[in-house]
């Protein structure tokens, strides 16, 4: 797996070439490499979201401030269904690379025997964190030794620490994270919502008020993400709204225009019980809902 960085050379060209600084999102220090041309390639052990800077080197320790870059990482998984020697259907979930989070997959497949086709479901087959393959028996012996076809994945999701659909910054797991997609769908296009990106993390929650029992009643939720370099915007801003059972508890407007990593925050006023049934919603400026995801507050 390679991290490939390319840039447009300035005029005049720097005397001593370029320095590229990169790090997996969530890490605190950059790795620096030197380059004489306008590209640099780093060999990686697995896909991950990366951000960094490319700087012109004018020798004697003098470098430009740098141009930021960022990349979101994706990896495919596949689903196979076969009949074992007992006539039971076995579902196998496979991927080239292991994720630090469990992957849960739900879907269906068809079995055809004696000119009749039956659709069979499978639910929450879990490819465990750190593994690249898992097989589970999902039916009793099927009559007629049917021919298996039309395998369909109806839903899948990564099981993040603390639950929810948004990952929390973890110095161990987060830098290695990439977003899975089913190999029959292809890599997903960015829908414009930062919360849809594999690089989006809830980084911290700073309590600003609490009740007599010590429960937070207000605070600041800090988060970050990397906008894809290929994004062509109908809009450059997105409104993020946090809701729970009581209604809206926080809102902020964020940019999806900049390169590299973006850091942002949202002030929350918690009137319910620690944000019960909490959702993060993303809206375009014309009030169109892009997507929404369940989330949990980072550990405080």
Among 51, 71, 91, the domain-final residue is 71
Residue 149 lies in a domain: yes
**Minimal CA–CA distance to 295: which of 191, 171, 164, 150?**
164
Residue 126 lies in a domain: yes
Residue 154 lies in a domain: yes
83 in the same domain as 8: no
Give me the domain span that covers residue 29. Answer: 2-71
CA dist 160 and 175 (Å) reads 13
The whole-number pLDDT of residue 16 equals 86
Q: How far lies 98's CA from each of 50, 71, 184, in Å?
A: 17, 19, 19
Among 157, 182, 207, the domain-final residue is 182
CB within 8 A of 201, min separation 6: which ones? 25, 26, 166, 167, 168, 169, 174, 223, 224, 225
- E strands in 194-246: 201-210, 216-226, 237-244
CA dist 89 and 83 (Å) reads 5
81 in the same domain as 46: no
Asked whether 239 and 223 are in contact (CB, 8 A), the reply is no
The whole-number pLDDT of residue 192 equals 93
The whole-number pLDDT of residue 275 equals 58
The whole-number pLDDT of residue 121 equals 97
Residue 299 lies in a domain: no
Among 131, 147, 182, the domain-final residue is 182
CA dist 146 and 13 (Å) reads 66
Phi, psi of 161 (to 5 degrees): -55, 135
122 in the same domain as 164: yes
Number of domains in the chain: 3
**Minimal CA–CA distance to 97: which of 75, 79, 78?**
75
**Minimal CA–CA distance to 26: which of 201, 198, 143?**
201
Question: pLDDT truncated to tens, each residue of the chain (300 aa)?
Answer: 788 888 888 888 888 888 899 999 999 899 999 888 888 888 888 899 999 999 888 887 766 678 899 999 999 999 999 999 999 999 999 999 999 999 999 999 999 999 999 999 999 999 999 999 999 999 999 999 999 999 999 999 999 987 889 999 988 888 889 999 999 999 999 999 999 999 999 999 999 998 888 888 899 999 999 998 777 778 899 999 999 888 899 999 999 987 889 999 999 998 766 556 789 999 999 999 999 999 988 865
The whole-number pLDDT of residue 113 equals 95
Strand order in the sheet with 74-83: 133-137, 89-95, 74-83, 179-182
- What helix, strand, coil percent values describe the chain, rounded to 5? 0, 55, 45
96 in the same domain as 22: no
125 in the same domain as 172: yes
Residue 187 lies in a domain: no
201 in the same domain as 131: no
212 in the same domain as 144: no
283 in the same domain as 247: yes
144 in the same domain as 79: yes
Beta pairing, strands 74-83 & 179-182: parallel
CATH number of the domain bearing residue 8: 2.60.40
Specify the length of the chain in residues: 300
105 in the same domain as 39: no
CA dist 103 and 153 (Å) reads 13
- Name the pTM for this structure: 0.91
The whole-number pLDDT of residue 274 equals 56
The whole-number pLDDT of residue 231 equals 76
């Amino acid at each position: 797996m390679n991290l490939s960085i390319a840039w447009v050379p300035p005029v005049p060209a720097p005397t001593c070439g370029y320095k590229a600084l990169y790090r997996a999102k969530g890490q605190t220090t950059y790795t620096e490499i030197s380059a004489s041309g306008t590209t640099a390639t780093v060999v990686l052990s697995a896909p991950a979201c990366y951000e960094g800077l490319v700087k012109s080197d004018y020798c004697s320790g003098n470098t430009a401030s740098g141009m930021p870059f960022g990349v979101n990482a994706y990896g495919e998984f596949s689903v196979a269904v076969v009949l074992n020697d007992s006539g039971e259907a076995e579902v196998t979930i496979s991927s080239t690379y292991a994720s630090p989070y469990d992957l849960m997959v739900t879907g269906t497949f068809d079995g055809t025997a004696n000119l009749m086709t039956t659709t069979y479901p499978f639910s929450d087959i879990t490819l465990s964190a750190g593994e690249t393959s898992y097989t589970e028996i999902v039916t009793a012996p099927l009559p007629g030794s049917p021919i298996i076809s039309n395998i369909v994945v109806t839903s899948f999701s990564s099981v993040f620490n603390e639950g929810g659909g948004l990952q929390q910054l973890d110095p161990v797991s987060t830098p290695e994270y990439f977003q899975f997609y089913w190999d029959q769908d292809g890599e997903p296009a960015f829908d414009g919502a930062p919360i849809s990106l594999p690089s989006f993390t809830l980084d911290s929650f700073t309590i600003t008020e609490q009740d007599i029992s010590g429960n937070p009643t207000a605070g600041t939720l800090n988060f970050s993400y990397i906008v894809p370099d290929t994004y062509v915007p109908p809009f450059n801003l997105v409104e993020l709204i946090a809701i729970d059972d009581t209604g809206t508890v926080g809102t902020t407007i964020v940019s999806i225009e900049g390169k590299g990593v973006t850091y942002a925050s949202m002030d929350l006023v918690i009137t319910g019980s620690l944000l019960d049934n909490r959702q993060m919603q993303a809206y375009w400026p014309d009030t169109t809902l892009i997507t929404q995801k369940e989330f949990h507050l980072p550990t405080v």
